[in-house]
A and B are shown apart, each in its own frame.
Chain A
């Protein structure tokens, strides 16, 4: 069966520090992968999606970036975090139009 992992589960970072969040998927090959952010009390905002290795599409301009160095690995990064980057970051993959989410990383920028 397919499994999606994210780490870390929680993270507290100072403003201006770098960020690297990792997502890996098991049990499937060539998945479509997504990064979402959910701010407190708000809906899911699509940040990036990827249909294959090295293929990244950005949905919103911001100080975040994403990379897909391997088929089942999706990384979200930032060189300098902003206060507004705080939120719940979710990685997801798609099968038959259904999205399956990882457990998420809760990021607090202070």
Chain B
């Protein structure tokens, strides 16, 4: 089993739609969780951290389910500019903070 798994997509959704991505992780000792966004041919950029209590930033909501070992990202009212690849990131406990990236889920928002 991969350390971090994501559905690669692509998810093709119309503008205004709500879309959700899930990501599962295998290491139950994982401590920190993030969603990154990567535009085509660009570096990944931090979208948001994921907290146990769930957190929201505008149209984006992230949730963590430790019991089932998955995190989710919900995007409401999709915009064309949301088109990108979304990477799930998991960091276990450890001195040097080894970070594991999922392979990403590609989102294409269609006019």
Residues in chain A within 8 A of chain B (CB atoms) = 32, 34, 36, 42-44, 46, 49, 51, 57, 88, 90, 94, 97-104, 106
Residues in chain B within 8 A of chain A (CB atoms) = 31-32, 34, 41-46, 49, 87, 89, 91, 95-104
In the bound complex, do residue B99 and residue A104 qualify as a contact, i.e. CB atoms below 8 Å apart? no
3 smallest CB-CB distances across A and B, nearest first, come from: A43-B103, A101-B43, A97-B32
CB-CB under 8 A from B42, the residues of chain A are 103-104
With A97-B91, A102-B43, A103-B43 as known contacts, state yes or no: A42 contacts B99, CB within 8 Å.
no
Partner of A44 from the list B31, B44, B49 (CB cut-off 8 Å) is B44
Known contacts A98-B49, A100-B46, then 17 further A-B pairs from the complex at CB < 8 Å, ordered by chain A residue: A36-B101, A42-B103, A43-B87, A43-B102, A43-B104, A44-B101, A49-B98, A57-B96, A88-B41, A94-B97, A94-B99, A97-B34, A98-B34, A98-B46, A99-B89, A101-B44, A101-B45
25 A-B interface contacts by CB (under 8 A)? A34-B99, A36-B101, A43-B87, A43-B104, A44-B44, A44-B87, A46-B99, A49-B98, A51-B95, A57-B96, A90-B44, A94-B97, A94-B99, A97-B32, A97-B91, A98-B46, A98-B49, A99-B34, A99-B89, A99-B99, A101-B44, A101-B45, A104-B42, A104-B43, A106-B41
Q: How far is the CA of A102 from the CA of B43 in the complex (A)?
A: 7
Q: How far is the CA of A94 from the CA of B46 in the complex (A)?
A: 12
CB distance from A88 to the nearest CB of B (A): 8
Q: How far is the CA of A69 from the CA of B50 in the complex (A)?
A: 35
CB distance from A83 to the nearest CB of B (A): 20
Q: How far is the CA of A51 from the CA of B95 in the complex (A)?
A: 9
With A43-B102, A43-B104, A44-B87 as known contacts, state yes or no: A97 contacts B43, CB within 8 Å.
no
